[in-house]
A and B are shown apart, each in its own frame.
Chain A
């Protein structure tokens, strides 16, 4: 009966291929949408990802994402260091600052200050020199587009730099590079390198610099410490130490994974953009599932006459059920396979560009499970339809 079911399924090649394409399209749509979403979320916790050696992040108790932060007193660093099991702890400063380009144009940056001695938190730079050498230059910073485009433009010609007659906003520009200067709070900073770290969501240009330079740029600030990045002693229990830090310091301590999770949750709850995106994804899925369901249903509906015949010849409802579900599952699995395969290829192509795409394990799984649920539903409905038809169909001339 299994073989017969398969033969009936593939008898009409055109219809069968149409069905497969329909299912593949749905699986593609769902997997792609999920990966797109995962891509955005990955950008949302880019700060955590670009510091893979950090075990535990310590922050103010009110903070629940790497996106919205409030600072702690510098004293927190020593409190954390004093917790048993902590191998080392380094500070991270974070603050939005507006920088002025030489032509007078201005741009908001997220400025990240890292420990002078270790430079933990500095991303890889496109340079033959080491970050420690480059940031040794007084007032030096590393700039990063952070997923934006054309935001790091400085005037091309000397005549447009720091002009006497006010801003030259329409001046010809070029990309920032080594040696270029900008102003933050009227203090000069020098571009020592350009990095290309994980793009941010939402996109924003970044400046990385040392704590001492950070302090120079924000002289009147009282609290600057945003995170303490902890490395634990090898062999100690991650969660246990996080709990310990939390208890001893009264601060919030999260493992990197937990921090990523909380950040994603925070986006889901707080970000309207993400909310819209989720709606779009859900809509796309519903449309895809609807189309798949209807196609599968129509397919079995077309074959109803054959099922009626088999039933007349003594096929039990169990046998018919096996046949319908053989057909449904075979289409669903092959169709989803194609869809997810294509999605992987397309994903590879777009991920090379500046596109937020990340196919995590759950994306194709979600696509597959979605298609299967729809298929089972369509199969059940078809099976139900079988109860009412039989006699007339067979005796019709």
Chain B
């Protein structure tokens, strides 16, 4: 029996008000367990991004329960949510979101820098992870000198550097070609197997479904079914 990392029940989220209101999440219920990779799929506009924003505390939701690592995020105030997120959650975005002003090492070390960790130790850790994602040569390169795949690998390293419990990936492969996308997914899978980290991957790309352990199908703001993969 795996331990529950994420427990969601009946999450409802509406954008806007009155006539302009969009009911993006209509009661989402989902459990995600430690060490698994959960694929979250569904048609465009069904609410995937909204869902991961809500569970990571980037977006407030109207009602429902959301416990991460046994903590109810609705009971925390804004600063607590920010601190909790910084400590326990890592992100990989479709558009990489690296800071162009920083080198790879600095980018990877960012979550530790934010947490006021020792600089030398942070950089050492960042370098270890850059080695692990195959970018040992690019410590001091700026993102603009990297390919899309390389940038996404830097982003993966950054998501891992502070040893979070949960990594949220929103369309991590959509900006990459097929092969690069596969490489990034293999990397995530490898990290998951080594560290028993929990990963949620939002995707459209059926060629990466195979990396998941389970898959949640979302439609019109609801989870329709969850299936076991492999």
Contact = CB atoms under 8 A, between A and B. Distances in A.
Interface size, B (range)? 20 to 34
Interface stretch (B79-87, B127-135, B181-189, B206-214): B79-87
B83 A11 contact: no
A297 B186 CA distance: 42
Interface in B21-66: 49, 53, 56, 58-59
Interface stretch (A124-132, A141-149, A307-315): A307-315
A312 B91 contact: yes
Given A1-B114, A7-B101, A315 B82 contact: yes
Interface size, A (range)? 20 to 34
Contacts of A314: 82-83, 85-87, 111, 114-115
A310 B58 CA distance: 12
Interface in B92-148: 93-95, 97, 99-102, 106, 110-111, 113-115
A180 interface: no
Interface string B166-192: 000011001100000000000000000
Contacts of B79: 316-317
Contacts of B95: 396-397
Interface string A284-325: 000000000000000000000110011111111101000000
A334 interface: no
Contacts of B49: 391, 395
A240 interface: no
Most buried by B among A312, A316, A397: A312
A345 interface: no
Nearest to A10: B101
Contact of B86 (A1, A313, A396, A397): A313
B118 to A, nearest CB: 14
B175 A397 contact: yes
A395 B93 contact: yes
Contact of A319 (B111, B114, B175): B114
Contacts of A394: 58, 91, 93, 97
A175 B94 CA distance: 81
B191 to A, nearest CB: 18
A338 to B, nearest CB: 22
A10 B142 CA distance: 14
Given A391-B59, A394-B91, A394-B93, A315 B114 contact: yes
Contacts of B93: 394-395
Contacts of A319: 114
A396 B114 CA distance: 23
A8 interface: yes
Contact of A395 (B83, B94, B101, B110): B94
Interface in A366-397: 390-391, 394-397
Contacts of B78: 317
A391 B101 contact: no
B101 A8 contact: yes
A4 B102 CA distance: 8
Contacts of B113: 1, 4
Contacts of A316: 79, 82-83
A239 B22 CA distance: 76
B175 A391 contact: no
A311 B106 CA distance: 16
Contact of B102 (A7, A305, A311): A7
A315 B175 CA distance: 26
A391 B58 contact: yes
Contacts of B83: 314, 316
Contacts of A8: 99, 101
Contacts of A397: 94-95, 171, 174-175
Contacts of A1: 113-114
Contacts of A317: 78-79, 82
Nearest to A8: B101
B100 A395 contact: no
A313 B83 CA distance: 9
B180 to A, nearest CB: 16
Most buried by B among A11, A317, A394: A394
A10 B99 CA distance: 13
A397 B203 CA distance: 12
Interface in A68-93: none
B201 to A, nearest CB: 14
Given A4-B113, A313-B110, A317-B82, 18 more contacts: A8-B101, A11-B101, A309-B97, A310-B110, A312-B56, A312-B58, A312-B91, A313-B86, A313-B91, A314-B85, A314-B86, A319-B114, A390-B58, A391-B59, A394-B93, A395-B94, A395-B170, A396-B95
Interface of B: 49, 53, 56, 58-59, 78-79, 82-83, 85-87, 91, 93-95, 97, 99-102, 106, 110-111, 113-115, 170-171, 174-175
Q: Give 8 closest A-B pairs by Cβ, nearest first.
A: A314-B86, A11-B101, A7-B101, A391-B58, A391-B53, A8-B101, A395-B49, A315-B114
20 contacts: A1-B114, A4-B101, A4-B106, A4-B110, A4-B113, A7-B102, A8-B99, A11-B100, A11-B101, A306-B99, A309-B97, A312-B91, A313-B85, A313-B91, A313-B110, A315-B82, A315-B86, A316-B79, A394-B97, A395-B93
Interface of A: 1, 4, 7-8, 10-11, 305-306, 309-317, 319, 390-391, 394-397
